[in-house]
Amino acid sequence: MKSIWYENEDSIPQFSSLKGETKTDVLIIGGGMAGLLTAFFLHKAGVKYLLLEKDRIFRGVSGNTTAKITFQHGLIYQKLLKDEGQEKAQLYLEANRSAAETFADLCRSIDCDYKTADNFVYTTSDKRKLEREINALNKIGYNADLCENLPLPIKTAGAVRFKEQAEFNPMKFASAVAKGLNICENTRVIAYEPNKVITEKGKITAKRIIVCTHFPFINNHGAFFLKLYQHRSYVLALKDAAEYDGMYVDEDKNGYSFRNYNGLLLLGGGGHKTGKRGGSYRELEEFAKKHYKNSRQVASWAAQDCMSLDNICYIGRYSKKTPELYTASGFNKWGMTSSMVAARILSDEMQGIRNEFSAVFSPDRSILKPQLFVNGVSSMEGMLSLSTKRCPHLGCALKWNKAEHSWDCPCHGSRFSKEGKLLDNPANCDIKNLDN
C-alpha cells in the first residue's frame, strides 16, 4: 500500500550508487525531507557535501506523511510554558513559524499544490485544555482562536485554531528540491567510525556527519534507544466523502485527523505504539462506513513517527563524545516543519553560524522525564521476552502485526516483512529466513 503522493514518484530524480572511496566536508545519511532540505541549504551555501540514501530518496517515512505544514503541534505550548519556561516556548514557536514561512517562500516557485488553510487542534474531552492552550499562547505572544461547533462527524469540546497554516504535495516538493543535489542512492551505511562511514561498496571520510535516518541507528552514542519510541498511525484516502475547510487533528495522538486533497478526504487515526495492538486500518474503515456511507476508499497507508521524551525533537550534536557527529530525530508527528527547522539549524552549524534556536532542540538536554522510565521498561520487557524471532537492532522479541503482515519491534520500532526484509529502522539490516 502506497500513499497518494506516490502518484508523482516518477518525477523524483534518480541518482547512482557510491562505489569506492571519497571525501567530503559534510556527509548526510538519509534522504527523507530533513536530509534533502539540509543538502539543499548546504548546496545553496556552496558547502561541499554528499547525501547517502540506502534505497531511493523520499521513499521512507517522508513519503507517508499527511503533509500538513503547521507550527501548531497539538496542545504543546501550555506544556512548554510549564516545563521549559516562556523563553524556550517562544523560541519553539518562532523556530517552527520561521520553518513554515520558509516553506511558503520556496513553494512560490515550486508546483507542489501548496495551499494555505487554517489548522484546528480539537479535543473530545475537556474544553479546559483548550482554554489553557489559548492562555499559554497569549503569554508567549501568539493570538489563536477558541472554536466550537466544528463540522466534524464526531462530538468535540471545541478546538484551538491557528490561521493560515498550509498543506501541500510533499512528493512534488521533494522532486524539485532534489534536482541538482549531490546524492548517492542505493548506498547503505553499515558501520560508523569517527569522521568516517563504511558502506557496502566503499568508504567516505567527512569532517562532519549528519544522521537523518528517522531513528538514529548508531547505538553506542547518544542513547537514542532510550530517548525515543515509535508510534504508528494510519490513513485512508476517501473519494465522495466530506470536504472540510481546514485541517483538523485530535490532541490525543490516538485520535482522528482530517484534511482534503484533490477531491479526497485523508482520514487519519487508528494509532498505537509500534509493536503493540491498536485500531489500525480496521478502526478507520469502520469510522468511514459509519460516517461517510457513500465514500469509496482509493488508497491507504501507514506512517511511523519517532516520539521524544519531552515532545521536542532532537536536532544537533549526536552526543558530547562525538563532536563531528550530528542528528535530527524525534519529530513527534510534525515532520514537515520539524524537518525544515532541522535543516536550517544543521546547515548553519556546518558553516559555523550560531542559530538562535539550536539550544531548544539540543540532544544534550536532560533526559530525566517520565517517558524515559516507560521506554526503559518497554525495552527490558522486549529483551526478556522468549521468542526465536529477534530484532537485530538490540535483540528485542518481534511481534507479528496482523494488520500490515509485518514483524514489528515493540522496543524501538524496527519493522520487517514476513520474509525478513527491513521496512523501518533503527535496525540496519534484513533478517534471513524469517517467516510467519
Among 69, 65, 68, which Cα is nearest to 3's?
Answer: 65
pLDDT tens, residue by residue, 324-371? 999 999 999 999 999 999 999 999 999 999 999 999 999 999 898 889
Looking at residue 384, its pLDDT comes to 73
Q: State mean pLDDT over 111-131.
A: 96
Helix axes 86-107, 170-178, angle to 10 degrees: 80
Q: What are phi and psi of 27, to 5 degrees?
A: -110, 125
Q: What are phi and psi of 118, to 5 degrees?
A: -70, 145
As a whole number of angstroms, the distance between CA 229 and CA 311 comes to 12
As a whole number of angstroms, the distance between CA 335 and CA 306 comes to 10
Integer angstrom CA distances of residue 278 from 121, 203, 254, 410: 22, 42, 9, 12
Class of domain 4-65+172-227+310-361: alpha beta
Integer angstrom CA distances of residue 13 from 180, 284, 337: 9, 34, 23
Looking at residue 374, its pLDDT comes to 85
Looking at residue 434, its pLDDT comes to 64
How far from chain centre, in Å, is Cα 392?
23
Is it the case that residue 4 has pLDDT exceeding 80? yes
C-alpha cell of 292? 461517510
pLDDT tens, residue by residue, 151-206? 999 999 999 999 999 999 999 999 999 999 999 999 999 999 999 999 998 999 99
pLDDT tens, residue by residue, 189-204? 999 999 999 999 899 9
311: pLDDT confidence band, cut at 50, 70 and 90? very high
Looking at residue 194, its pLDDT comes to 94
Q: What is the CATH number of domain 370-424?
A: 2.102.10.10
Is it the case that residue 283 has pLDDT exceeding 60? yes
The C-alpha torsion from 155 through 158 and 163 to 169, rounded to 10°, is -30
C-alpha cell of 62? 517522508
Numbered ranges of CATH 2.102.10.10 in the chain? 370-424
Helix axes 335-350, 33-45, angle to 10 degrees: 40
Looking at residue 373, its pLDDT comes to 84
C-alpha cell of 317? 550534536
378: pLDDT confidence band, cut at 50, 70 and 90? confident
Instruction: Report the DSSP pairing between strands 158-167 and 145-147.
Output: antiparallel
pLDDT tens, residue by residue, 37-53? 999 999 999 999 999 99
As a whole number of angstroms, the distance between CA 158 and CA 43 comes to 44
Numbered ranges of CATH 3.50.50.60 in the chain? 4-65+172-227+310-361
pLDDT tens, residue by residue, 7-29? 988 899 999 999 999 999 999 99
As a whole number of angstroms, the distance between CA 285 and CA 138 comes to 39
C-alpha cell of 299? 488508497
Provide the whole-model pTM. 0.95
432: pLDDT confidence band, cut at 50, 70 and 90? confident
Strands annotated E in 150-263? 158-167, 183-184, 189-193, 196-199, 202-211, 229-239, 247-250, 257-261
